[in-house]
Homo-oligomer: A and B are copies of this chain.
Amino acid sequence: MDKNKILEYTQLYKATLLENVIPFWTQNSPDWVNGGYYTCLDRTGKVFDTDKFVWLQGRQAWMFSFLYQEVDRKEEWLAISKLGIDFLEKYGSDSDGNYYFSLTQKGRPLIQPYNVFSDCFVAMAFARYGQIPGNESMGSKAIAIFQKILDRQANPKGIYNKVYPGTRPLKNFALPMILSNLCLEMEPLLDQGMVEEILDTCVQEVMVNFLDQDTMVMFENRTLDNGYSNSFEGRLLNPGHAIEAMWFMMDIAKRRGDQSLANRAVTIMLRQLEHGWDKEFGGIFYFLDHEGHPPQQLEWDQKLWWVHLETLVALVKGYHLTGETRCWEWFEKVHKYAWKNFHDPKQGEWFGYLNRRGEVLLDLKGGKWKGCFHVPRALYQVWRTLESEVDKKNF
């Protein structure tokens, strides 16, 4: 690996973030009339639906506060973040402080607060915005939401849970995974003892309880005593989820100076990637069944933007933290696939959904699940990690 190659990638990720992706969202997404953001944007950036999904409102408000703090104190970015923060504060939650799943253009509730990740991404947004001087009150709100999330851990769906109690209780990977990242995001606002305790729990859940120690396969659902459930849910693998969680683990490892955790995260990440890679058409499968049975998810063989972007982040961080050459080889392979298939050279931003062959399945740039989040966050993470690599190597 030579210096010029790294510098070339650094420049590509940085320029795409700042000159292509962020402008796409600043131009097309803010709803300056009603507040919040439109996220249902067609290939060209035109709004095709006006519903506002709380996950994506929170994630975009977070993204623009993050850019303001970490990249450049642009007033436009702060104003865009505030647009989402205010909208969420005004319309986002019910009287108990639980966040709805979706709202109309004008903020009226559409779908009830059944999904704890709405709360997670609102907390993430409020916490980041609250760290900007003058916004401290939003920090307190973030803490209150975070506490409610912790209280909901045992039954995140609450009254909307359709699982009959007791027959086959399973726990799901997504919440400990997201908490690993959210807890680091919220660290400046939290008591340090609490942070360490939550991180300990998250690392235990992610690195031990959801992982089969023999095969090194990461599962989406486990029994309450951390075992395998031979059922549709128990057999389900989501390679992108597992790989994304590994870069959250690497961030924890870096913060704690825990080289052993970093090494293990890299090993597990590469294992999921090798297993999840489509040897016939390239790209990473969305879902797999551990025993090779047909999964329930009809979209199992599709190639999703976030899976590939989070994999690029995990690979570059893995390389940076451990020097493992397979990380670099895989980075170049996934990079090539992603830029060839997801990146839209004509209309900017990235496609979200490809079929198994890598052809565009839906040409939207944003929708119910794709917003201003995975693309810019990953571009930022790759850019900055490669920059540190250049510094470290002292080229």
In the bound complex, how far is the Cα of B232 from the Cα of A48, in angstroms? 10
In the bound complex, how far is the Cα of B112 from the Cα of A167, in angstroms? 11
Q: Tell me if A109 and B293 are in contact (CB < 8 A).
A: no
Contacts of A101 in B (CB 8 A): 162
Q: How far is the CB of A104 from chain B (nearest CB, A)?
A: 6
Q: Quick one: which of A123-167 are within 8 Å of B by CB?
A: 159-160, 162-164, 167
Q: Quick one: which of A83-121 are within 8 Å of B by CB?
A: 100-101, 104, 108-112, 114
Contacts of A294 in B (CB 8 A): 42, 48, 362-364, 367
In the bound complex, how far is the Cα of B139 from the Cα of A343, in angstroms? 60
Judge whether A299 is part of the interface by a CB distance below 8 angstroms.
yes
Judge whether A340 is part of the interface by a CB distance below 8 angstroms.
no
Q: How far is the CB of A141 from chain B (nearest CB, A)?
A: 22
Known: A48-B293, A293-B42, A293-B49. A298 touches B353 (CB 8 A): yes
Contacts of A362 in B (CB 8 A): 294-295, 298
Q: Quick one: which of A20-68 are within 8 Å of B by CB?
A: 40, 42, 48-49, 51
Q: Tell me if B167 and A110 are in contact (CB < 8 A).
A: yes
Give the number of times this chain occurs in the complex, counting copies.
Answer: 2
- Across the two chains, which residue of chain B brings its CB closest to A292? B48
Q: Tell me if A111 and B163 are in contact (CB < 8 A).
A: yes
Contacts of A49 in B (CB 8 A): 231-232, 293
Contacts of A167 in B (CB 8 A): 104, 108-110
Judge whether A301 is part of the interface by a CB distance below 8 angstroms.
yes
- Across the two chains, which residue of chain B brings its CB closest to A104? B167
Judge whether A335 is part of the interface by a CB distance below 8 angstroms.
no
In the bound complex, how far is the Cα of B231 from the Cα of A51, in angstroms? 8
Contacts of A367 in B (CB 8 A): 294, 296
Judge whether A311 is part of the interface by a CB distance below 8 angstroms.
no
In the bound complex, how far is the Cα of B168 from the Cα of A111, in angstroms? 10
Judge whether A368 is part of the interface by a CB distance below 8 angstroms.
yes
Judge whether A308 is part of the interface by a CB distance below 8 angstroms.
no
Judge whether A172 is part of the interface by a CB distance below 8 angstroms.
no
Q: Tell me if B293 and A361 are in contact (CB < 8 A).
A: no
Q: How far is the CB of A296 from chain B (nearest CB, A)?
A: 6
Contacts of A222 in B (CB 8 A): none
Pairs across A and B, CB under 8 Å, 6 listed: A42-B293, A48-B291, A48-B293, A48-B294, A100-B164, A101-B162
Q: Which residues of A contact B (CB under 8 A)?
A: 40, 42, 48-49, 51, 100-101, 104, 108-112, 114, 159-160, 162-164, 167-168, 231-232, 291, 293-296, 298-299, 301-302, 353, 355-356, 361-364, 367-368
